[in-house]
Chain A
Amino acid sequence: MKTELNNEAAVKAGPNTEGMNQEQLRQLEEGVSLKIDRNKDFSNAPSVLRGEGVTRIFTTGKTRTVAVDHVNFNFHKGELISIVGESGSGKTTLSKMLLGLLEPSDGTIYFNDQVRDISTGAKKRAYWKGIQAIFQDPFSSYNIFHKIDSVLEDCINLRGGKNLSKQEKYDMMTEACSFVNLKFAELTNKYPFELSGGQMQRLMIARIFLLKPEILLADEPTSMIDACSRATILDMLLKLRDETGMTVIFITHDIGLAYYISDAVYIMEHGKFVEQGPAEKVILEPQAPYTKRLISDVPKIHEPWDLSTVG
């Protein structure tokens, strides 16, 4: 109930809600009612992010590195997509392009079935209302000179809550923190480095909770965190997805994790998608040799670890 109140406040709040598209407004009004079924078929759901021939080439002097090589993808609304690949396969470059932090060298990206236009600062800001990210390293994700409050307050401001009273803002922050099992009263006026890695990453999720974007891009959000906190954080991500119906793009090197949480899986090798499809199909019946290798590389508790594939 609290969430709904919170959303109403955000909708009422500022003139900025006019900038939101209909989809977002509808989502805000419906609040958390959208539930996603694990076995739901997303192929008929509307596309939120689509890419055709997306390529990124880095040139330094005469060396050309093709980081992402003509990839095609189609992410549907409410879907949880995992992009799996080893280090250096181009996952992070792709995620930067999806976020609009990096321009593709070639190819087109469609956002809500329209060619994405982020040519000006204002258009970029509008785009970033629809897509947000959680980064790999929580320790470097925060500006060490700013208090935690300002991180969360930025989110409220971005959602048009600039003119809310202090108390309202405080309530929203408290709610967001309690969503990720943090007590805002204990965190307020603290600097990020006073928190543990797990707490920092949970705070990042609280940030997403306040922003409620259409798409969340999580770039290995659990790789820097111990196994216990990892489960909590994944749980929270899934809970957040279930509550808000956002599309989650999960970038990971852990194919087991991808199988556990995703609807669709894209396997990336040397900047190309070598295999893609529903999670069950890709992981239980892998076709590409790279996928098979990735699966066999996962250490298992009850059988000896097959290291024969390690080149």
Chain B
Amino acid sequence: MKNTLKNVFHSPRFLVGFIIFMVILLTVLIYPYFVTRDPLLSLGKGFLAPGTYLSVYDANNAPTYRMELPEAAINRLESAIPTEDRQVMLDFLKVKGADVSGVSTANDSLDDLLALWKANYDEADVKASKYQGFSTQAQRNKLRRLNTSILASEQASAMSLSKGEGDAVAVSDTDYIKVNEVANAVSLPLGTDNFGRDTLTELVKATGVSLIIGLIAGTVATLLGLVVGLLAGYVGGIVDDILMFIANLFTVIPGFVLLILIYYSVGQAARGITTCALVIGFTSWVWTARSVRSQVISLRNRDHVNLSKLSGHSLFRIVLTDILPYIASYVVMAFILQVSSGILAEAQLSLLGLGPKTTDVPTLGLMMNWAKLFGAYTSSNAWWAYFPVIGVIALISFSLNLMNTGLDQVFNPALRD
């Protein structure tokens, strides 16, 4: 036993899979102690991109520090003129016939671009001569607005704030505040989802819930498959025929269709995570049963089983002590795969809108479903709402499958290449 465990942990594949899985598991367990916020608490409205959000009000009240950054002006300019505007400027300069070779929309050629712009842009000229692509009133207005904003951002603007009831205080462009001195700052490493919920906190909670679903589904499927497989394989005869008939029924009817039908008939109100897990478990035991059965058939005629029979042991005892330990490693591997496929099945079902009811807890599948329903894939382009979820699903099933192949290598040395 000890030796087997040692071997298992010497398998690099198993080890990598195990470490990935443990990292995920530990994150799920420890994270709630650091972020105690309710994972389903709505912080804002709609998708917010990842980043740190500071309260403007509190930022104004935070103590200021003077800092003279040499590149402050150019940074400000760079963020004031976005790439799309620079492209418009370039297009205009090309039409105007200026030499734009060596000038691009990149940050380091912004100086050249501005110089060219100032040399070539003349409002009266644009109004009089209709340049190609800038002939309509709207297009000309756009150019005019662009010019105004460029001029505005070049002059260090004076800004004043009123602190409390007192007089207005001038804010200089060399004033800085410290992020953690702002009373209300929210760090959202993965932004928010469509409901304005912190995606990271939600994701961690969802991972935990999905793991529980996978665990329950895997346990149910493995136990059911084990009992059916052991009975069918060991007892044989009519019992085998009946059990395999049922198993074949489950094989012929695609499991997923069955899942959808059961889910649909249960109704969303009754679908907690346990129900979901049980339904997944009850539809995925078939292949465990089949493979356990075939293993048992090869074992039941071994001499040690015959000897056990001759020693007068009961069927129950023979199955439990003479058959089960011999296939235990196989069952563990099957269990790992069942957990993995349970998590995937939940994700698939939820993506179709057949997941657990949406008000209690998030699951990985539900997060995907919400992202789909609220256009994170398409209109909002909010990659942070679904990409990390896909990543976590992939990592979980990758690590579990890696553990499985690692175990396979240890328990079936003949398979080693």
Contacts and interface: CB of A to CB of B under 8 A. Distances in A.
Interface stretch (A79-87, A131-139, A165-173): A131-139
A128 B309 contact: yes
Contact of B312 (A101, A128, A146): A128
22 contacts: A99-B310, A101-B306, A101-B309, A101-B310, A121-B315, A124-B309, A125-B312, A128-B310, A128-B311, A135-B303, A137-B303, A140-B303, A140-B304, A141-B304, A142-B304, A143-B304, A143-B321, A143-B322, A145-B325, A154-B313, A155-B311, A158-B312
Interface string B290-331: 000000000000111011111111110000011001100000
B306 A135 contact: yes
Nearest to A145: B325
Contacts of B313: 154
A133 B307 contact: yes
Interface string A103-130: 0000000000000000001001100110
Contacts of B315: 121
Interface in A73-94: none
Nearest to A138: B303
Interface in A153-177: 154-155, 158
Interface residues of A, number: 23
Given A128-B312, A132-B310, A146 B303 contact: no
Interface of B: 302-304, 306-315, 321-322, 325-326
Contacts of B312: 125, 128-129, 154, 158
Interface of A: 96, 99, 101, 121, 124-125, 128-129, 132-133, 135-137, 140-146, 154-155, 158
A278 to B, nearest CB: 29
A121 to B, nearest CB: 7
B220 to A, nearest CB: 26
Contacts of B321: 143, 145-146
Given A128-B309, A132-B310, A143-B304, 19 more contacts: A99-B306, A101-B306, A101-B310, A121-B314, A124-B309, A128-B311, A128-B312, A129-B312, A133-B307, A135-B307, A136-B303, A137-B303, A140-B302, A140-B304, A141-B307, A142-B307, A143-B322, A154-B313, A155-B311
Contacts of B303: 135-137, 140-141
* Central interface residue in B306, B308, B315, by most chain A CB within 10 Å: B306
Contacts of A140: 302-304
Contacts of B302: 140
Contacts of A144: 304
| Interface-central residue, B307, B313, B322, B325, by most chain A CB under 10 Å | B307
A158 B311 contact: yes
A133 B306 contact: yes
Contacts of B307: 133, 135, 141-142
B293 to A, nearest CB: 17
Contacts of A143: 304, 308, 321-322, 325
